Amino acid sequence: MQTQHTVGLPRGRSLTASLALPIGTAPDGGWPGVLVVHEAPSLTRPILDVADVFAARGWAAVVPDLLSSGGAKLGCLVRNLREVQSGKAGAVTEDLRAVLTWLGGRADVDGARTASIGFCMGGAFALLLGSLGPDGLRAVSDNYGFVPPETTDLTRCPPVVGSFGADDTLIKNGAAQLTARLEKAGVVHDVVDYPGAKHSFLTGDAKLFGVVTFPGTAYVADAAEPAWERILGFLDEHVRA
């Protein structure tokens, strides 16, 4: 069962976030924490389900709604996309850092053992958050996210696991581009391009404000199942170990 929370942000703002916790009492030192960042169109049920997957594996998972931080949703979406396309960590990335700090500050969470996982736009934001080198962030999972330009400094980013679809018409050659960026930055990485996979192949169709399905997006089991195994194993290795 997920609970809803209001998380304070810089400049006196706030956003809403869903929190999923493992069943039972937290271990000494707290559970590892993971920040789940949703796709560009909106926060959808499949992304919230990701938090439940992590909670079932012993993680505390928080999913912020990036369209809830003030103003019209369309305006928030445009702001979010402009930041990821610029490749520069800005106000939205700082909001995510504030959510990560909030999660790590809980008594039942180990703030020194956290990760960030993102999808589509969220994957790009996970990388931008990693570029800031926040305390306690030990790994990043970028899933078919916009690949940052060469001007983005990723040298402080923790280890990255990336998953892309070879048939993705929105993010083309993402795996090769991200691998090149991470190798140049000297970041430990595991990036795979899955044949037959389209955009959003890990979670299902992407929907604008939960209503309109984006074309070229679909869940692909043959790619999603091995990808999830890689992602979860990578995060366990770099965060929980």
Which residues 6+ apart lie within 8 Å of 161 measured at CB? 139, 140, 141, 142, 189, 190, 191, 230, 231, 234, 235
At residue 134, the pLDDT reads 97
What angle do the packed helices 121-131 and 91-104 form, to 10 degrees?
80
Question: DSSP letter string over 146-203?
Answer: PPPPTTS--TT---EEEEEETT-SSSTTHHHHHHHHHHHHT--EEEEEETT--BTTTT
At residue 44, the pLDDT reads 86
At residue 105, the pLDDT reads 98
> Two tokens at 231?
């992602």
Distance CA 14, CA 91 (A): 13
At residue 139, the pLDDT reads 98
Per-residue pLDDT 10s for the chain (241 aa) are 899 999 999 888 999 999 999 999 999 999 999 999 998 877 888 999 999 999 999 999 999 999 887 666 666 778 878 988 888 999 999 999 999 999 999 999 999 999 999 999 999 999 999 999 999 999 999 999 999 999 999 999 999 999 999 999 889 999 999 999 999 999 999 999 999 999 999 987 555 545 555 555 778 999 999 999 999 999 999 999 7
Indicate the pTM of the whole model: 0.93
